[in-house]
Amino acid sequence: MFPGGAGWKAEGQEPAYNVITREEILQQLGRQTEPWDVLVIGGGATGLGAAVEAASRGYRALLIERFDFAKGTSSRSTKLVHGGVRYLQQLNLSLVLDALRERGHMLRNAPHLVHNVPFVVPAYSYAALPYYGLGLKVYEALSGRLSFGPSHLLSRRSTLEMLPGLHEHGLRGGVLYHDGQFDDARYAIALLRTFQDLGGTAINYVEALRLLERKGKAIGVAARDHENGANFDLQAKVVINACGVQAEATIALDGRPHPSLLVVSQGTHFVLPRSFLPGSAALMIPRTADGRVLFAIPWHGATIVGTTDEPVDRVSDEPRAMASEKEFLLDHIARYLGRRPERAEILSVWSGLRPLVRRAGLRTSQLSRDHSVLVSQNGLVSVIGGKWTTYRRMGQDAMDRAVQIGALPKQKSRTLELKLHGWTLDADQPALEWERVYGADLPMVRALSAEDPALDAPLHPRLPYKLRAVVWAARFEMARTVEDVLARRTRVLFLDARGAIDAAPKVAEILAKELGKSDAWKATAVASFIDIAKGYLYEEDEAA
């Protein structure tokens, strides 16, 4: 049995664990006697980035999340760490420059989670070759010393060798360039662990119900724990709203009218067998017939195809693919990857919502992923817009403003070179892709099977995960539900929705043992998860 917890020793040493249980955190919140320096609402990329920024500067920081960490948009991305070739086409050079710099530092600070992937842009006209070639040379040059690798033109033959199965008719060649890929939800967990290592306090399934104010200034939130129904007041010198597509709803917790700040768009992805993209390179279509960008990317032994860009009027906690999005993806898979997939070949379907800063007269596909930091009349600091790759810069900008609003002692940002939890990986210990995400924790994850050999069994016969991943998630990564484990601590739901449904009872059994839950809890947990997981099945989505 491990002594549990989060916390790093000095760089290069073994991790030291000192687990604080959820019950202990709730007790700490309930008996608060002095305000936190910083309270962050929202446990996605933006909130976790702001929290790490706060704790790394030495502030007493608390983060609350009403669901699970990265439950929303931050686990539903296209899994890219990139500057954004699309924004280069829009001549938004400042966003591209910022994102390329952040991309480089994400690779340096979390090499167990971020890696370099070759991308190929196929050209179906001779004019497209120099056009894309020049654009991607500019993209490469903008990355400077943080470049992921040179771009160059490819012959027709080389393009087909790198992208076996690519539609050949009219193909003239291609352009090779390099960009980054990551596991978004696992990166969020690494940020969570880093925040804890730095002394921060985080808790999931705690919701901010309303803002607390004194003399018109926000001094915290009234919150509720969704697990036991307990209510408590959380006071802080400054409150940061990092709620993504729910940012406007959080601003409105003060009960005052506010103008609309965001436009929300939806992006949907299909997951297909690796046979649709059997090589090691990814495919990028820079401009589809309706002006969108489309990717097909190898990920965890499967192929991700996406994304769409459809405006939505209603923010949903579980967005579902629209018929138009599914048809768009099916048509373009057939057009570029050789054949239209059968229903049974669509392993999972997921949709995420993008928070875009409103700009008059522009479609969602024309809006950039720039972010803004706004301060409400009551001093609430809100971060809106943005993209995963620039999460750190968003957190830095939010904290710079929060320091002013909260009259905190000024401290410089330290996150640009901050190594994330688990950042080293022993080269002498070969690891599969799903295991690499644990980084330096991997030997301890594997050692769970020595404690109980049954944990070395597979979670599902079609997937590489072991049962020990469930135990680790419960003990060390604050997983509370079957969905937490199958959607975010592992990526089973995103890789194989049917497999996730099959695995749910076993996961519930292990979680119940780890968390001290009853048989009734197990039955409810499985039913709740299956209800969510059905939305990831293409058949169910089609029927809806």
Contact 514, 478 (CB under 8 A): no
**pLDDT score at 17:** 56
- Walking along the chain (544 residues) 10 residues at a time, the average pLDDT comes out as 34 53 92 94 98 98 98 96 81 86 96 96 95 93 93 96 94 96 98 98 98 96 96 97 96 88 93 94 86 90 93 93 94 92 96 84 51 94 94 97 97 97 78 91 95 96 96 98 98 98 98 97 98 89 40
- Alpha-carbon distance of 12 to 7, in angstroms, equals 13
328 and 391 together in one domain: no
- Is there a domain that residue 246 lies in? yes
What DSSP string runs through 438-456? TGGGHHHHHHHHHH-GGGG
279 and 304 together in one domain: yes
- Is there a domain that residue 483 lies in? yes
255 and 268 together in one domain: no
253 and 268 together in one domain: no
- Is there a domain that residue 15 lies in? no
500 and 447 together in one domain: yes
347 and 381 together in one domain: no
- Is there a domain that residue 60 lies in? yes
- Alpha-carbon distance of 192 to 420, in angstroms, equals 9
What DSSP string runs through 263-292? EEEEEEEEEEEGGGS-SSSEEEES--TTS-
**pLDDT score at 424:** 84
Burial of 24 per CB tally in 10 Å (0-12, 13-18, 19+): exposed
52 and 26 together in one domain: yes
Q: For 434-453, what is each residue's pLDDT tens digit?
A: 999 999 999 999 999 999 99
201 and 226 together in one domain: yes
- Is there a domain that residue 389 lies in? yes
- Alpha-carbon distance of 439 to 429, in angstroms, equals 10
**pLDDT score at 94:** 84
- Is there a domain that residue 412 lies in? no
Can you give the length of the chain in residues?
A: 544
Give the global pTM: 0.94
- Is there a domain that residue 292 lies in? yes
What is the CATH classification number for the domain harbouring 247?
Answer: 3.50.50.60
286 and 333 together in one domain: yes
**pLDDT score at 95:** 85
Of 357, 381, 396, the residue that ends a domain is: 357
What is the CATH classification number for the domain harbouring 531?
Answer: 1.10.8.870
441 and 521 together in one domain: yes
**pLDDT score at 7:** 40
Number of domains present in the structure of the chain: 3
511 and 453 together in one domain: yes
What is the CATH classification number for the domain harbouring 320?
Answer: 3.30.9.10
User: For residue 113, which of 176, 56, 162, 45 has the smallest C-alpha distance?
Assistant: 45
**pLDDT score at 52:** 98
- Domain containing 383 equals 22-73+186-260+368-405
439 and 535 together in one domain: yes
- Alpha-carbon distance of 393 to 401, in angstroms, equals 12
- Alpha-carbon distance of 328 to 337, in angstroms, equals 14
Contact 208, 9 (CB under 8 A): no
- Is there a domain that residue 428 lies in? no
Which residues are bridge partners to 272 per DSSP? 303
CB neighbours of 115 closer than 8 A, spacing ≥ 6?
A: 107, 180, 181, 182
- Alpha-carbon distance of 259 to 7, in angstroms, equals 42
